Amino acid sequence: MSEHFLKVDIHLTSSELLNNFARCINQELPPDLIKLIEGKTRQNYIEDNLLTPAMILPLQQIINCPFQGMTKQIYLEAKCLELIALKLEQLTKTKNASIKSITLKPKDIEKIHHARDILIFQQENPPSLLDLALKVGINDNKLKIGFRQVFGTTVFGYLHNHRMEIARQLLQDGKMHVATVANAVGYANPSHFAAAFKRKFGVSPSECKAGKKIFE
Q: How confident is the model at residue 77 (pLDDT cuts 50, 70, 90)?
A: confident
The residue ranking higher by pLDDT, 52 or 205, is 205
Q: How many CB atoms lie within 10 A of CB 52?
A: 10
Q: What is the pLDDT of residue 44?
A: 65
Query: What would the mean pLDDT of 130-155 be, rounded to a whole number?
Result: 89
pLDDT over 90 (residue 114): yes
Query: What would the mean pLDDT of 62-76 be, rounded to a whole number?
Result: 89
Query: What would the mean pLDDT of 193-198 be, rounded to a whole number?
Result: 87
CA trace torsion 101, 216, 180, 124 (10° rounding): -10
Query: What would the mean pLDDT of 55-81 be, rounded to a whole number?
Result: 87
pLDDT over 90 (residue 112): yes
- Quick one: angle between helices 106-121 and 155-173, nearest 10? 40
Q: What is the pLDDT of residue 97?
A: 52
Q: Where are the alpha helices (DSSP H) in the chain?
A: 16-22, 31-37, 53-63, 69-96, 106-121, 129-136, 140-151, 155-173, 178-184, 190-201, 205-209
Q: What is the pLDDT of residue 102?
A: 78
d(CA 109, CA 150): 7
Q: What is the pLDDT of residue 117?
A: 93
Q: What is the pLDDT of residue 180?
A: 92
The residue ranking higher by pLDDT, 37 or 169, is 169
d(CA 190, CA 195): 9
Distances (CA, A) of 133 to 36, 112, 115, 116, 117: 24, 9, 7, 11, 13
d(CA 82, CA 196): 8
pLDDT tens, position by position, 21-57:
666 555 566 666 776 776 666 666 666 567 777 788 8
pLDDT over 90 (residue 89): no
What residue type is assigned to position 172 of the chain?
Q
Q: What is the pLDDT of residue 118?
A: 93
Q: Are 208 and 201 in contact (CB under 8 A)?
A: yes
What residue type is assigned to position 158 of the chain?
Y
**What does 40-57 look like in DSSP terms, one character per residue?**
S--SPP-------HHHHH
pLDDT over 70 (residue 96): no
Q: What is the pLDDT of residue 170?
A: 92
Q: What is the pLDDT of residue 132?
A: 92
Average pLDDT, the chain: 80
CB within 8 A of 116, min separation 6: which ones?
147, 151, 158
